[in-house]
Chain A
Amino acid sequence: MPEAPIQSDIGSLEPIAQMLRYRIIKTSHESGTPHLGSCLSCTDLLVFFYWHILNINPADPSSPQRDRFLLSKGHAAPALFQVLAERGFFPRSDLDGYGEDGSLFGEHPPTPSALPGIEAATGSLGHGLPMGLGMALASRIADVPYSVYAVLSDGECNEGSVWEAALLAAAQGVSNLTVAVDYNKWQATGRSNEVLGLAPLAEKWQAFGWCVTEIDGHDFGQMADAVEKNKNDPRPKAIIANTIKGRGVSFMEDDNNWHYRIPTADEVKLSAQELGIEV
């Protein structure tokens, strides 16, 4: 049986997130892995789910009763890898050869069979939610109780398959499925509300029949409230998490150059100072 979630005190999550941010930035510098801005905007969401919500046991990563977490925005895998290592799915030392030839750790998650803790090999946008929906439906069909959580990017909501999944989830009343949209207002080459007509995003999910809560995606208390207050709602849940791309480092925040830029050694040092990490 999976363990109960760690249920870390909400107040204890911030230092974990800051430490992971530093490791993500340092790894980006060392391995040349991009999508730093996208990783930092959802780090708080990942920490919240992995330390406060998910019913998982790193020692038994394929337990049928485990909660499923899908990083549908697979390009934030550098953040997920740090989270999984810190949660104990594999030793942190496994990340030493990050990005090197033959490593499992790169820009996107590998398949579950290749790396324990991964539920889906995402990276092509718009795949994680449909797969997560299938997992949530399987819980009901096979009568094995668990919940499914998927983190999507706002740019990812360009994909039609996201909205196909939203429609089916509503029609089937899939109440054990929660989507969190990392709404950092940017996608690869522009503002997500300008590239396509994304806004009003919360209203769109609501119109698709979902139970929607809009929050500050860097406020752990608001995240906890959003999950808690709607847990008995029969609809699928969407959390529209307003976030800042590059969150945590002043010179990266809301600067879309950091979608692809790799930090220099000096910038890693500066980041450590701003995040309050002693190196």
Chain B
Amino acid sequence: MRNAFAAEVTAMAAEDPKLVLLSGDIGNRLFDKLRGGYPTQFMNCGVAEANMMGVAAGMALSGLRPIVYTITPFTTTRCLEQIRVDVAYHNAPVVIVGTGSGLSYASLGPTHHSLEDFAIFRAIPNIRVLTPYDAPSLRSVLREAVGSGVPTYIRIGKKGEQDLVPPESAVGIGKTAVARKGTDICILSVGTIGPEAIAAADTLSESHGISAEVVLVNTVKPLDEKLLAGLAARFKAIITIEEHSKSGGFGEHVSAFLAQNSIATPITCLGTGDKFMHSVGSQSYARTYFGIDAASVVAAAQDCLKMPAGVAS
């Protein structure tokens, strides 16, 4: 996804002289084309993220369209107050991009994990939270986000992610793509965890006789309530899966919506638990460790179909 990001930003910079990419001293060689072609539209702000976010807000308030880019914890929690005050409070059109989100950098340890960003951003006014699920999805929402003038946080993976739907099916902000059609349950998959949801749906269909629809979600905030109400009416149960803490995550948000609207469709939320992962390992290992892999979705699907309506776990 980061290669798609660099390519798309370079293309956008060529079209819009107001676009500026601020990097926190990462992306060695990644932005060579941007730096070479449009040197005034790229700035390495060093390993100084608090300042970088304030600089971006100042640029945005002066008519530019800055994109801030670094590894997710450092472009979110490291400079959270600058995001809240300088970007969100000022409603400054800054696009914040976190790369290597969730457990993408599992092997680097919890300093480089990001499992609390949705929870934090959900409580900050003005700012939108986007979770593209593959490279075409990223290209689509990035372009729309920069053009919109709305403060936006985009959470992306690292590299090598497969396309989950045909590129021409990439949808805009707030819309969903269906990766698998189904009739029994709906798996709402947030961002880059999509392959686990799809693998689970295939297993459920092939081995368990359960027909699962996989809906790819690219927007965590604002929540598409109309879509949720429609899905809740269509399916026997909903499963949400996200590479994020269950606390304050997308699933909790969806659960609150269902409860507050007296919608009794059972829901199971898969996310990471209230713990740090002290061991290292691959992203796949980390997903299994936290119970957000395909096998966990399969188990959850079997369980939730046993539940009577109105009982959620």
Residues of A within 8 A of B59 (CB): 134-135, 137-138, 141
Q: Which of A41-49, A124-132, A253-261 contacts B (4 or more CB under 8 A)?
A: A124-132
A31 interface contact, C-beta 8 A: no
Tell me the bound Cα distance from A121 to B51 in angstroms.
Answer: 16
B150 interface contact, C-beta 8 A: no
- Contacts A134-B59, A138-B62, A160-B50 given: A121-B90 contact, CB under 8 Å? yes
Tell me the bound Cα distance from A251 to B90 in angstroms.
Answer: 38
Check A138–B63 contact: CB distance below 8 A: yes
A139 interface contact, C-beta 8 A: yes
Check B82–A111 contact: CB distance below 8 A: no
Tell me the bound Cα distance from A71 to B59 in angstroms.
Answer: 17
Could you tell me which residues of chain B, from 34 to 88, have a CB within 8 Å of some CB in chain A? 40-41, 43, 45-46, 48, 50-64, 66, 81-82, 85-86
Could you tell me which residues of chain B, from 77 to 112, have a CB within 8 Å of some CB in chain A? 81-82, 85-86, 89-91
Could you tell me which residues of chain A, from 108 to 153, have a CB within 8 Å of some CB in chain B? 111-113, 119-121, 124, 126-127, 129-142, 144
Residues of B within 8 A of A131 (CB): 54-55, 57-58, 61, 86
Give, as a whole number of angstroms, the nearest-CB distance from A121 to chain B.
6
A59 interface contact, C-beta 8 A: no
Give, as a whole number of angstroms, the nearest-CB distance from A177 to chain B.
10
Check A111–B89 contact: CB distance below 8 A: yes
Q: Which of A18-26, A163-171, A213-221 contacts B (4 or more CB under 8 A)?
A: A163-171
For A171, the closest partner residue in chain B by CB is B46
Could you tell me which residues of chain A, from 24 to 68, have a CB within 8 Å of some CB in chain B? 64, 68
For A68, the closest partner residue in chain B by CB is B62
- Give the secondary structure class of B's interface: helix
Pick the residue among A68, A120, A132, A171 that contacts B90 (CB under 8 A): A120
B18 interface contact, C-beta 8 A: yes
For A146, the closest partner residue in chain B by CB is B62
A residues engaging B (CB < 8 A)?
A: 64, 68, 111-113, 119-121, 124, 126-127, 129-142, 144, 160-161, 164-165, 167-168, 171-172
Check A161–B82 contact: CB distance below 8 A: yes
Check B62–A135 contact: CB distance below 8 A: yes
B267 interface contact, C-beta 8 A: no
- Give the secondary structure class of A's interface: helix
Check A168–B90 contact: CB distance below 8 A: no
Tell me the bound Cα distance from A167 to B91 in angstroms.
Answer: 26
Residues of A within 8 A of B18 (CB): 142
Residues of B within 8 A of A139 (CB): 62
Check B55–A127 contact: CB distance below 8 A: no
Check A134–B58 contact: CB distance below 8 A: yes
Check A127–B63 contact: CB distance below 8 A: no
Check B58–A168 contact: CB distance below 8 A: no
Tell me the bound Cα distance from A168 to B25 in angstroms.
Answer: 12
Check A130–B55 contact: CB distance below 8 A: yes
Pick the residue among B17, B57, B63 that contacts A64 (CB under 8 A): B63
Tell me the bound Cα distance from A119 to B57 in angstroms.
Answer: 11
Check A130–B63 contact: CB distance below 8 A: no
**6 tightest Cβ-Cβ pairs between the two chains A and B:** A134-B58, A130-B54, A164-B51, A138-B62, A164-B48, A134-B55
Residues of B within 8 A of A130 (CB): 50-55, 57-58, 82, 86
Tell me the bound Cα distance from A160 to B62 in angstroms.
Answer: 24
B171 interface contact, C-beta 8 A: no
For B91, the closest partner residue in chain A by CB is A113
Pick the residue among A113, A134, A171, A172 that contacts B62 (CB under 8 A): A134
Residue in B51, B59, B86 with the greatest tally of chain A CB atoms within 10 Å: B51
Tell me the bound Cα distance from A172 to B45 in angstroms.
Answer: 9
Residues of B within 8 A of A126 (CB): 50
Tell me the bound Cα distance from A81 to B48 in angstroms.
Answer: 32
Give, as a whole number of angstroms, the nearest-CB distance from A132 to chain B.
6
B286 interface contact, C-beta 8 A: no
Check A141–B55 contact: CB distance below 8 A: no
Give, as a whole number of angstroms, the nearest-CB distance from B44 to chain A.
9
Tell me the bound Cα distance from A181 to B61 in angstroms.
Answer: 24
Tell me the bound Cα distance from A132 to B17 in angstroms.
Answer: 21
Instruction: Name 18 interchain pairs, CB-CB below 8 A, sorted by A.
Output: A64-B62, A121-B85, A127-B81, A127-B86, A130-B55, A130-B82, A131-B55, A133-B55, A134-B66, A135-B62, A137-B43, A137-B58, A141-B20, A161-B82, A165-B55, A168-B45, A168-B51, A168-B55
Give, as a whole number of angstroms, the nearest-CB distance from A62 to chain B.
10
- Contacts A137-B43, A141-B40, A142-B63 given: A111-B91 contact, CB under 8 Å? yes
Give, as a whole number of angstroms, the nearest-CB distance from B313 to chain A.
41
Residues of B within 8 A of A112 (CB): 61, 90
Residues of B within 8 A of A113 (CB): 90-91
Give, as a whole number of angstroms, the nearest-CB distance from A92 to chain B.
26
Tell me the bound Cα distance from A165 to B55 in angstroms.
Answer: 8
Check A132–B82 contact: CB distance below 8 A: no
Check B58–A138 contact: CB distance below 8 A: yes
Pick the residue among B45, B48, B61, B85 that contacts A119 (CB under 8 A): B61
Residue in B41, B62, B66, B85 with the greatest tally of chain A CB atoms within 10 Å: B62
- Contacts A167-B48, A168-B45 given: A134-B54 contact, CB under 8 Å? yes
Tell me the bound Cα distance from A136 to B45 in angstroms.
Answer: 14
Check B40–A133 contact: CB distance below 8 A: no
Give, as a whole number of angstroms, the nearest-CB distance from A2 to chain B.
14
Residues of B within 8 A of A133 (CB): 51, 54-55, 58
Give, as a whole number of angstroms, the nearest-CB distance from B254 to chain A.
32
